[in-house]
Each structure stands twice: as structure tokens, then as C-alpha cells.
Amino acid sequence: EQVGIAVETFLRLCRRARWSDAETPKFHWLLHFENHISKWGNAPTCWVHERKHKTVKRFGEDILNTACYSKSVLAEVISQQLHDVQQLDAFALSPGLVGAHKASKEVAELVHTHVNGEYQNLKVSTKARLNVFSKVHKRDVVIIDAGEDKFNVGQIWLLLSIQDVDMALINCWELRHHNAAHATSTWNMVDKPLLIELCAIFAPVILKVVEPGIAMIMLPYEFKGKVPFSQPRGIVLVS
């Protein structure tokens, strides 16, 4: 009963906050939690196949023999899984790029244009690991360390490794207003690209675009004591 009340309260508050348009179809699974607990005595995960969706689609679309379709897809998925776990970084837990690969010619030229110097070992990725529990992806909006309990906010444009140093090209935003009591702040989504080391990224954040060019972010609980600041720490300006 407590789970049902909590879910209904959460969904009602989402609508009150005008987040209905951001509710994905998966939101309906919340309505099943109360019945799961009542029936099984605990809350079994509903997401066991989420991490396999792309893999299943990748192999399933090319299989035309429907007589053994399920077996064929399963065999392909298991083979891919065995290949993945044999990679050197399959169980890596330290901060760094995930699945990094050689940068394309276009990306390399972009980096060389904005950053002084030529780099032979330039790699890029669409996601990076911040710590054991947290990852960020390209286009995520993140909190950036500005030193002395201060932070900045921006959107990741590119995750890259330059001379084996993991970095991120981030479009840093300008602060409009900070509400410490509600742990929210409003930012101008300006174009201010900065190159920073990956270790300067604290965490991804939840945001809402309140009007064109203006976004409101929700500060994670562990960062509520920090103060927004205009300039991140440890950055290399991009011209």
C-alpha cells in the first residue's frame, strides 16, 4: 500500500511540474510495483532485458528463419556477450572513457582547430565512467567542479582522450538564478565550449527547459551545499 501511495504521489507531482511530455512509456511500470510486492513478497526487477535491447534488435532484424527464430537470436546474443566480457576493459571500474576508439578525420580536425598542438593518439567515445556508480553520455547536462564547493553546469559535446588524458568538450552555461532552498538553479543555454578533464565532472543532472534557451536543473542531494559559479576549475579554453 505504501508503494502504491508513493507511486501515485510521484506521478501526480510530475504532472503538477508539467513533466508529462517527458514521461516515457516505461513510467507505466511504476503502477505494477505494488502488485508485484503483494504477489511475490518483494520487488523483482522489471529491467533485466533493458541492457540487451540494442543487441537483440541488431541480430533479430536479420534473421528470416522464423521456425527457430528465438533460438537463433538467443545464440547470437550469447555469442556477443561472451565476446564483450573477454575485452580488456570489460570489468574496468576506474574513471575513463568507455569503448573509446580512434577519432574520425572530421573530429580530429575539429580538436586540432580549437586546441593548440598535434595529437597522434586522439580517441573519442559516446560515454564515460565517472566512478563505480556513475556514467555520463554525450549530450548529458552535468555539474562541473569549480573549486571551493562551487560548481558550473554545461552540456557534454564530446568525450575524448588526448595523449591518454581523458577529457570532455563541454558547452558551459551562464547562471541566471539559484534557489538554495529548493536545490534548483536556472541557466542560460549559451555557446561557451570549454575543454576540461573528465575528473572535473561531478555528475549528470535532471533538467527542464522552461523556455527557449533557458533550463532549470535539479541539484542532486549530495551537492546541495555547493554554490553555482561562473567558471569551472581546471579548464582549457577552446577558441
Query: Could you read off the pLDDT of 86-108 as tens digits, one per residue?
Result: 987 778 888 899 989 998 888 88
pLDDT in the model for residue 9:
93
List of E strands, the chain? 96-98, 101-102, 123-125, 127-129, 135-137, 141-147, 150-162, 165-172, 174-179, 184-188, 193-197, 201-204, 206-211, 214-218, 227-228, 235-237
3-state helix, strand, coil in the chain (%, to 5): 35, 35, 35
pLDDT at 71 over 70: yes
Instruction: Quickly tell me which residue has 575513463 as its cell.
Output: 96
Of the candidate ranges 44-48, 207-211, 226-230, the one whose mean pLDDT is the lowest: 44-48
Residue 236 has a pLDDT of: 52
What's the CA gap between 9 and 3, in Å, rounded? Answer: 10
Reported confidence tier of residue 239, pLDDT bands at 50, 70, 90: very low
Query: Residue 145 corresponds to which amino acid?
Result: D
Give the residues across from 154 on adjacent strands. 142, 172
- Please give the mean pLDDT across all residues of the chain: 85
pLDDT at 51 (0 to 100)? 67
Tens of pLDDT along 110-138? 777 766 666 667 899 999 999 888 899 99
Q: Identify the bridge partners of residue 187 per DSSP, sorted by sequence position.
A: 175, 215
pTM above 0.75, yes or no: no
* pLDDT tens per residue across span 22-69: 888 778 888 888 888 888 887 766 566 666 778 888 888 888 878 888
Q: Assess whether pLDDT exceeds 90 at residue 139.
A: yes
Question: Can you give the pLDDT at residue 153?
Answer: 93
Mean pLDDT of 157-178: 91
In the chain, pLDDT over 90 holds for what percent of residues?
Answer: 34
